[in-house]
């Protein structure tokens, strides 16, 4: 019973993630920390998660192109993408080469060896 609940929970999570969160998120709202040249990047990156950013950033701010490039949701989704499946099916059947028809072997003589080379018992009659 427990594996079934886990399977259902995984299916529900994937459905929510792939159909609601991933297509509907605004790119750059949640950014990865670091990767910026300014020293206040850590403060700005932490402003949404722990409330330590101060009142200088308002929710009306739109993400910059640099924020869009460091989108945490897109980063996470790209790492969840499965690698391509290796196709192990054999290729379709086709001609590789045309072999000429060879002449049939000709039998010159056929020696018949009898199975019984003696006289048979007398016929009853």
pTM for this prediction: 0.37
pLDDT tens for 48-66 read: 444 444 444 555 577 787 7
Joined tokens for residue 96: 């590789």
pLDDT at 52: 42
Residue 73 within a domain: yes
Amino acid 116: pLDDT: 65
Residue 114 falls inside a structural domain: no
The residue range of the domain holding 59 is 2-80
Number of folded domains that form the chain: 1
In a domain, 109, yes or no: no
Look at residue 47 and tell me if it is in a domain: yes
Decide if 69 is inside a domain.
Answer: yes
CA-based end-to-end distance of the chain: 86
Is 104 within a domain? no
pLDDT band (50, 70, 90) for residue 70: confident
Structural contact between residues 70 and 32, judged by C-beta atoms closer than 8 angstroms: yes
């Amino acid at each position: 019973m427990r594996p079934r609940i886990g399977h259902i929970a995984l299916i529900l999570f994937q459905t929510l993630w792939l159909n609601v969160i991933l297509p509907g998120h605004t790119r750059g709202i949640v950014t990865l920390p670091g990767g910026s040249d300014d020293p206040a990047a850590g403060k700005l990156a932490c402003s949404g998660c722990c409330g330590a950013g101060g009142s200088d950033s308002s929710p009306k701010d739109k993400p910059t192109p640099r924020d869009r490039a460091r989108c945490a949701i897109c980063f996470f989704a790209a790492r969840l993408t499965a690698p391509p499946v290796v196709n192990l099916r054999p290729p379709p059947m086709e001609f590789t080469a045309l072999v000429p028809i060879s002449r049939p072997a000709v039998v010159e003589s056929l020696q018949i060896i009898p199975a019984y080379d003696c006289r048979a018992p007398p016929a009853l009659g």
